[in-house]
Copies of this chain bind each other. A is one copy, B any other.
Amino acid sequence: MRYLRMTLAYVGTAYAGWQRQPNRVTVQSVLETALARVIGECVHTVAAGRTDAGVHALGQVVSFSTETRLSNEALRRALNACLPNDVCVLEVCDAPEGFHALRAAIGKCYRYLIQTGSLRDVFATDRLWHCRYELDCEKMRQAACHLVGRHDFRSFQSRGSPRRSTVRELRRLKIDATPLLAGQRISIEIEADGFLYNMARNIVGTLVEVGRGRLEPDQLPLILQARDRRRAGPTAPAHGLYLVAVKLRDSSSCSST
């Protein structure tokens, strides 16, 4: 039995999220179908981040075990030949025995893209959140500072999958803005040791409330303290979110033979 790890990129638009569901096309289902065709085995894959419907990935990490004798590179090429155009295996490499992508993940980085102004970017449909109102990035940065660090993020957790602890360490929250002909393109990068359900989108939704002047930056500590979802802003739409990278425990380091 071999344990493998792969890195995957996908456009989430056509999928009901990562996780296999009856009668829905999901990234996991097309990947496992492609694996069955290529290696002739039914394998169960595990992803480090179970992205929601519409969420994209630049560096999703997936683990599975197999009996195949195909080389990792041959497997990668064969899978990409079978997968639809909006899913691509970037890398396949050997993993330590028992490797489990979800349990090995000790950090994740998400990016959220926003475009402001009255002009839609036709090339970015379903790939960013188009906000018609202007956003004050300086205020958003001030608000973001209050979120960095180890906090109870319960106010930023949507209902659905309560975790034992709602304390997470937010390691980095970086907001970049690029001016466009009309409006601006804003990128929000969020890195944490783990994310509660919808946490990234709820943080973005709250920062956007600050950017448009409906919340003040210094209200963020109070929102955290409240531990009440109703105090934070709305959930930003899924189609602006990208799972950029997953940080794995050292022992899961890869050799790509």
Contacts and interface: CB of A to CB of B under 8 A. Distances in A.
Contacts of A56: 123
A6 to B, nearest CB: 13
A85 B125 contact: yes
12 contacts: A9-B121, A9-B122, A10-B122, A11-B122, A80-B120, A85-B120, A85-B122, A85-B125, A85-B126, A86-B122, A88-B121, A123-B127
Q: Report the contact-size class of chain A (Cβ under 8 Å from the partner).
A: 20 to 34
Q: Count the copies.
A: 2
A118 interface: yes
Interface of A: 9-11, 56, 77, 80, 85-88, 90, 118-123, 125-127
A7 to B, nearest CB: 10
A1 to B, nearest CB: 28
Contacts of A125: 11, 85-86
Nearest to A87: B122
A122 B80 CA distance: 11
Nearest to A8: B122
Contacts of A118: 77
Nearest to A9: B122
A209 to B, nearest CB: 25
B9 A88 contact: no
A10 B56 CA distance: 22
Contacts of A121: 9, 88
A121 B120 CA distance: 22
A27 B182 CA distance: 24
Given A11-B123, A88-B120, 16 more contacts: A9-B121, A9-B122, A9-B123, A10-B122, A11-B122, A11-B125, A56-B123, A77-B118, A80-B120, A85-B126, A86-B122, A87-B122, A88-B119, A88-B121, A90-B119, A123-B127
Contacts of A85: 120, 122, 125-126
A125 to B, nearest CB: 4
Contacts of A80: 120
Contacts of A119: 88, 90
A49 B119 CA distance: 22
Contacts of A86: 122, 125
A127 B127 CA distance: 14
A185 to B, nearest CB: 15
A86 B123 CA distance: 7
A183 to B, nearest CB: 12
